[in-house]
Structure 1
Amino acid sequence: MAFDLRHLRCFLAVADEGHFGRAAAKLAMTQPPLSVAIRQLEDTVGVRLIDRSSRGVQITAAGEALVPQARALLAAAAEAVLTARHVGQGARGRLRVGFVGSLLFAGLPQWLALFQEAHPGIEVALVELNSQEQLDAMGRGELDVGFVLARRVPSVLQAVTVHEAPFVACLPAGHPAASSKRLSLERLRDDPFVLFSRQVSPDYHARIIDACAEAGFDPKVRHELRHWLSVVAVVSQGMGVAIVPAPLAQSGMAGVVFRPLSGARVTSILQCVWPVGPVRSPAVLGLLNVVFSAAAPDALARIAGA
C-alpha cells in the first residue's frame, strides 16, 4: 500500500486541529482540496478515518491508530531527504580507501586528518591491501580510491603519481654493513634476500632482481612476502636483507636499519587511482583535492576539468 505523503500531512493537520477550516489555514490551502485529500487517503486505506457531522470532526479508531504511524512515515521521509542531501553535498557517507603499508609513512595519516577536518560526517574505511589486490578490488567496485605502488594500471582506472622515492637497503641491525652511511648492492651478494612477492607484483620483483644483476650477482631469494611491512618485519628478525621503498625507513620498527644505495636506480612510484569517468562523489573529490593539493598540485586542474 503506497501512501501519498501530502495526504498524510493533510490528515495529521485535521487530526491536530480537530477542524477542517483551521487545518486548511495551517496548510495554506483552501478547505475543498483538503477534503478531497482526506477522502483519497481513506480510499487508499479502505476505511473511514474522520467522521464529519454537525457536531464537528471526530477521528475514528482507525484514524487514531494511523496518527502515530503517519507521523513516523513523515519523519522517516524527512530524514531520508536530509541524508540524501548531506551525502550529495559530501557531508555524510562512507569512503572506502585502499592503501599499501608504506603509505602510512608517506603522507596518508596527514591527508586523512585534513580530509576528516573538512568532512567530519564522512566515515573513512581503510583497507590495507597490496597493489594488485587493490586493483582487483577496484575492478569489483569494492574501493572508491586506492594508493598503489605501480607504474601502470588498468585502463578502467585513472591514476596520478603522488610520490616517487628511491629504494633503500633494509638490513638487520647487527648486519656488518649496518654502520655504513651508503652501500652498494654488490656488498649484499652473499646475503639471503627477502623479496616482495613475484605473484603480487611481478614489476617490483623483476626490478629488484634486475638491479642485483646490474650489480653483478643473482640474489639468493629466501623469502617472498605479500606486504612491504612484512618484508621489513622479517628482516628485523635477522632472516635476510631486502630492498624496500625509502618511506619504510619511517616505520620505527626495532632491529632493522635502512641505508641508501649507491649506483642503484630503482624507485617506487606511488599512484592514487580511482575509476575512469567524472568524479561524482563529493567524498572522493574531497579526498583527491586534499591529496593532490599536498602531493600533486598539477593534477587539481585535471580533476576539476573532468
Structure 2
Amino acid sequence: MDAPPFTLRQLSYLIAAADEGTIAAAGARLHVSPSAISDAITELETQLGEPLCVRRRAHGLTLTTAGTQVAAHARRLLADARELTLSLHAAEGELVGPITIGCYPTLAPTILPPLLHDFGDAHPRVELDIIEATHDELDGRLERGEVDVAFVYETLIPGNPRRERLFELPAHVLLAAGDPLASAERVTLEELVDRDLILLDAPPSSQHTLSLFARRGLTPKVRHRTASYEAVRTLVGRGLGYGILVQRPANPASYEGYPVVMKEISPPVPPVGIEVIWPAATPPAERTRALIDFARSITWPGPA
C-alpha cells in the first residue's frame, strides 16, 4: 500500500488552525511557531492539489469547501491514531484512555456520581474529565472533538449529534416549607403567576420555565434571576419566592438548611427528556461506547 502524500502532523496543524481561527493561536496551542503551522498547511495544500483555507491577516483563517471535507476526515484519522497508540498499552479487553464528559450544570449532581464512582471503579485506566457547560457553551465542542460525550436536556441540543434518551422528568414547583401552598397536593400556574418567581436563568431552563406559563397565556412575575440551581433553592428556602425546577434532589433543604418542598404542577406539564449525546461524524471510541452503555443501564430517578 502506497504511503499517503501527507503526514498526521500536517493534518493536526490544519485542525488546530481551523479550531483556533488564526495561525498564531494554533501555534500557541501546539507550542510551535506560526511559520511552522503556515508552512505545513501550505505543503498539505500542494500535496492535495486543493486550497484548504483562506488566510486573511486581519480576519484570521477560514476553511474552503475542500478544507472542510479534509478536516472532517483528518479528525477521524487523528482519533484513530490516538486509539492505536492507546491500544498498545492495554491488556486484552481493558479500556484505557481519556473520556471528556460534558454535562449541563443542574444535571451534574445526578449524572456524574455514578459515572465517576461506579464506571470509574470498573475501568480504573479510563481517565474521566468533566466539563460543566450549558447547551450554548457546548455548541461546536462535540464536533471539534473537545467533548466525547455529553449529558443534556433534550431541548436546544446544539448541532446534530447522535443521541439516546436516559430518563425524563416533568418540572415541579419548589416552595418554602412555610409557604401557604406547601400543604396543597398540587399547584396550578394560575396560583403562582402573581407571586415572585426565582428564575433559574440558564438556557434552556429559563426558556422552558417561561414556556410553561406562556402555554397557558400567563406571564410570571420574575423577582430574581440566577444561573445557580442551588441559589434558586436557597432563595426559595428563605421565602423570597417560588422556583420552577426539573431535577429532584433527595435533600429536602436548601444549601443553608432551610426546608423546601416540591409540588407537582396541575394540570400536568410535559416531561423534559435527559439525553446522552455524542458526535455523529466519528464513531465513539470503545471506552466512550462503554460509558454510554453504562449510562443507559442505570435506573435513574423519576418523579416521587
Instruction: Give the alignment's TM-score, normalised by structure 2.
Output: 0.60
- Give SS of 2:298's match: helix
Q: Please list the CA deviations of residues 185-217 of structure 1 after superposition, one character each: whole Å capped at 9, or x if unmatched.
A: 2221222112232xx42x543442232245553
Q: CA contact under 8 A between 1:234 and 1:240: conserved in structure 2?
A: yes
Is 1:181 the equivalent of 2:185? yes
8 Å contact kept, 1:105–1:250: no
What is the CA-CA distance between 1:157 and the residue it aligns to? 1.5
Root-mean-square deviation over aligned CA pairs: 3.1
Q: Determine if contact 1:90/1:281 at 8 Å carries over to the other structure.
A: no
> Match for residue 262 of structure 1?
266
Distance across 2 between alignment mates of 1:87 and 1:130 = 37
Residue 274 of structure 1 and its aligned partner are, at CA, apart by 0.9
Counterpart of 1:273? 277
Runs (5+) with no aligned partner, structure 1: 1-79, 297-306
Q: Distance in 1 between matches of 2:144 and 2:282?
A: 18
Taking structure 1 as reference, are residues 227 and 140 closer, same or farther at Cα in structure 2, changes over 3 Å only?
farther
Code of the aligned partner of 2:248? P
**Distance in 1, Cα, partners of 2:143 & 2:239:** 38
Say yes or no: does 1:148 pair with 2:149.
Answer: no
In 2: Cα distance, 1:186 partner to 1:257 partner? 19
Pick the aligned partner of 2:169 from 162, 165, 172: 165
The answer as to whether partners of 1:170 and 1:232 remain within 8 angstroms in 2 is yes
For 2:269 and 2:156, the matched residues in 1 are separated by: 18
User: 1:108: Cα distance to partner?
Assistant: 3.6
1:154 shift after superposition: 3.5
Please tell me whether the aligned partners of residues 135 and 158 of structure 2 are also in contact (alpha carbons under 8 angstroms).
no
CA distance in structure 2 between the aligned counterparts of 1:216 and 1:135, rounded to whole angstroms: 31
User: TM-score scaled by structure 1?
Assistant: 0.60
Aligned residues: 214
Q: Identity of aligned pairs, percent? A: 26
Identify the match of residue 291 of structure 1 among 290, 295, 298: 295
Instruction: Return closer, same or farther for 1:82/1:219 CA change in 2, 3 Å cut-off.
Output: closer
Q: Distance in 2 between matches of 1:249 and 1:241?
A: 18
Q: Distance in 2 between matches of 1:133 and 1:179?
A: 39
> Per-residue deviation at 1:184?
1.4
What's the counterpart of residue 135 of structure 2? Answer: 131
More helix by share: 1
Q: Does structure 1 retain, via aligned residues, the 8 Å contact 2:90–2:96?
A: yes
- Give 2:200's aligned residue: 196
For residues 165-198 of structure 1, the C-alpha deviation after alignment (integer angstroms, 9 at most, x for no partner) is 010001123322122232212221222112232x
Question: Residue 53 of structure 1 corresponds to which residue in structure 2?
Answer: none
Following the alignment from structure 1 to structure 2, what is the Cα–Cα distance between the partners of residues 134 and 156? Answer: 12
Q: In structure 1, how many angstroms separate the alpha carbons of the residues matched to 2:119 and 2:195?
A: 43
CA 1:151 to 1:295, structure 2 compared with 1: closer, same or farther past 3 Å?
A: farther
- The one-letter amino acid paired with 2:133 is L
